[in-house]
Amino acid sequence: MSDKDPKDEALSSQHGIVLTPEQLRGRRARNIAIGLGVTFLAVLFYAVTIVRLGGAVANRSI
């Protein structure tokens, strides 16, 4: 069974570029790595903000 996404195949045939299974695997792995990296950064910045604000995190105008 082909591991190509049907949408990819449709787009590829429309534009004339067909990705090899290796390229598709690489792209999927890169996308997952970018997703994990961005999530890690979001959590890190949130946690650092809380640590830097400390008790003042609750001080805000209602």
Partner 1 sequence: MSDASYFDESTTPKLPVAAPLDFIALLKPRVMSLVVFTAFAGFLFAPTLPHPLIIFAALFAIAVGAGASGALNMWYDSDIDAIMRRTRMRPIPAGRISADTALAFGVILSVLSVFTLGFVSNWLAATLLAFTIFFYVVIYTMWLKRLTPLNIVIGGAAGALPPIVGYAAATGDVSVASLVLFAIIFIWTPPHFWSLAILKIDEYGSVGVPMLPNVSGLRRTRLEILVYCLVLAPIGAVPWCLGFASWLYGVTAVSLGLGLLILAAQLFVAQDEATIRQAARRMFAFSILYLFALFLMLTIERALNLIGLF
Q: Which is nearer to partner 1, 5 or 25 (CB)?
A: 25
Tell me: does residue 55 bind partner 1 (CB under 8 A). no
| Contacts by 53-57, CB closer than 8 A, 24 or more apart | none
- Least Cβ distance, residue 6 to partner 1 (angstroms): 19
Strand ranges (E), 1-62? none
| Tokens encoding 38 | 């961005």
Residue 4: DSSP 8-state: S
**Footprint of partner 1 on this chain (CB under 8 A)?**
15-17, 19-20, 22-23, 25-27, 29-30, 32-33, 44-45, 47-48, 51-52
